[in-house]
Chain A
Amino acid sequence: MRVEDLVRGVLEGKRRPLARLITMIENEDPQASEALRLLYRHTGRAHIIGITGPPGSGKSTLVTRMTAEYRRRGRTVGIVAVDPSSPFSGGALLGDRIRMQEHSLDEGVFVRSMGTRGHLGGIARATSDVVRAIDASGKDVIIVETVGAGQSEVEIIDIAHTVVVVDVPGSGDDIQAIKAGIMEIADIFVVNKMDLPGADRKVSEINAMLDLDQKMGEWRPPVLLTNGRTGEGVPELVDKIDEHMVFLRESGLLEEKGLQRSRDELHQIMEYRLTRELLQHLRGRPEYERAIKMIAQRHDDPYSVAQRLIAEFLVELSRSGGGDEDGG
């Protein structure tokens, strides 16, 4: 399929082109960057919601309930469910969908499962592009589910407008108490499984922690109770998520965050491209290998060599009129 056709399909909201594009993004297919380039201007419309929390806390169940609620309110929903890939084989068991199948026949819902595929920071990059593709396809709300175990939950704030942190009553050994890191990224706290004993106590605990928080701005994260099984508390959760968007907009934070995000992204892309091209330029050149040897033998130092090589590269770049438009 030609990139233009793919892009048109995505913009028309068709599932197959969208699904294909996501695969290309995940596989780092060079055509994916071209498609994303063409789609970029059509993005930025969806409300992106991150859901994170310990394994088994009921995230997928809640996502399903929230989706039902959004659909009732006439909004379309995209879901990205991320599960860890095996560090040994690189494969993954993607099981979140088990709980989301009830929406599988609804035209207004698109569900996609992703493995983290192990590469450093890779989840952030692929996920944000995948979210962007779904955004371009016209979904009103995009929910990203990630397991709250380490890095990915911090990366979620780079992608989502609103981060919902899910916890459950009690703190059995498999359920980590909310860590400081995860506290800071929450815009909304949910204590799911409110039917289990200790739910109210959990709410007070989180509130007590929030009371101690010095850095809190104008938005104090609300702490909500939900029951993923019955859906109790879910309309209130969706209300709060909407409210948070209103807050972001009215406080100017949305714009501020948008600018910051564009700045970060531009930096990231530039840094990535520059590095890549610089290295491509140097790779295999005899003088480059010689310079490395000089450093190793202590005849030269890496600081001066780096400065010299970059300067030479920039001169050459300006002479040749820039690198290639796009790369592989």
Chain B
Amino acid sequence: MSPSRKIRVLIAKPGLDGHDRGAKVVARALRDAGMEVIYTGLRQTPEMIVRAAIDESVDVIGLSILSGAHMALFPRVMELLRKEGADDILVIGGGIIPEDDIPELKKHGIAEIFGPGTPLDEIVDYIRKHVKV
């Protein structure tokens, strides 16, 4: 690995959800852990997220949803990634995601879901461990 290699992460807010406190806090933690974090702002469609991930060559997509629309939007992101041949990107999520929905989301290829109360270092460690550099 070259010394200037940096992990690049896209933090995205799909759908109409305006809860961005968690996304922004996570973004800062990843920055402080030495990663390059691209943030796209609110109200992103799955199409926009996937395009940004590809243009920016990110290693990780972090999806944040607290408005309950995850079952409609997360799988759609995964589907588009596969269509673009970009499903090598690690996709993780966070927010208010009921326990019962997690197995289903993992089936679609979301690697991990982090709920309320997750320490930021746990997220940093997870990414470091799962991004092949």
Question: Measuring CB to CB, which residues of chain A are less than 8 angstroms from any residue of chain B?
Answer: 15-16, 19-20, 22-23, 26-29, 85-86, 88-95, 97-99, 101, 104-105, 110-113, 115, 117, 119, 122
Contacts and interface: CB of A to CB of B under 8 A. Distances in A.
Interface in B33-79: 33-41, 44, 47-48, 51-52, 54-57
A97 B38 contact: yes
Contacts of B3: 28
A28 B6 contact: no
B54 A93 contact: no
A260 to B, nearest CB: 28
Given A22-B57, A91-B6, A91-B32, 12 more contacts: A26-B4, A27-B4, A90-B34, A91-B31, A93-B27, A93-B39, A94-B36, A97-B40, A98-B41, A104-B48, A105-B48, A110-B55
A104 B52 contact: yes
**Range for the number of chain B residues in contact with chain A:** 20 to 34
A92 B31 contact: yes
A95 B10 CA distance: 11
A88 B33 CA distance: 10
Contacts of B120: none
23 contacts: A16-B54, A16-B85, A19-B56, A22-B57, A23-B57, A86-B31, A86-B32, A88-B32, A89-B33, A90-B6, A94-B36, A95-B39, A97-B38, A97-B56, A98-B39, A98-B40, A101-B52, A104-B48, A104-B51, A111-B52, A112-B55, A117-B4, A122-B4
B5 A27 contact: yes
A16 B81 CA distance: 12
A289 B36 CA distance: 40
A239 B122 CA distance: 51
B30 interface: yes
B42 to A, nearest CB: 9
Contact of B55 (A19, A91, A95, A99): A19
B57 A93 contact: no
Contacts of A15: 54-55
A94 B54 contact: no
Contacts of B8: 23
A92 B52 contact: no
Contact of B52 (A86, A97, A115): A97
Interface of B: 2-6, 8, 27-28, 30-41, 44, 47-48, 51-52, 54-57, 84-86
Contacts of B85: 16
A140 to B, nearest CB: 17
A88 B28 CA distance: 13
A91 B39 contact: no
B4 A119 contact: yes
A91 B4 contact: no
A92 B37 contact: yes
A23 B52 CA distance: 14
A2 to B, nearest CB: 17
- The list of the 3 closest CB pairs from A to B, nearest first, reads A98-B41, A91-B31, A19-B57
B61 to A, nearest CB: 14
Nearest to A102: B48
A19 B53 CA distance: 10
Contact of A111 (B44, B55, B84): B55
A91 B41 contact: no
Given A27-B6, A111-B55, A94 B37 contact: yes
Contacts of A101: 40-41, 44, 48, 52
Contacts of B86: 16
Contacts of B6: 26-27, 90-91, 115, 117
From B40, B44, B86, residue with most partner A Cβ within 10 Å: B40
A105 B50 CA distance: 10
A91 B30 contact: yes
Contact of A91 (B36, B40, B51, B54): B36
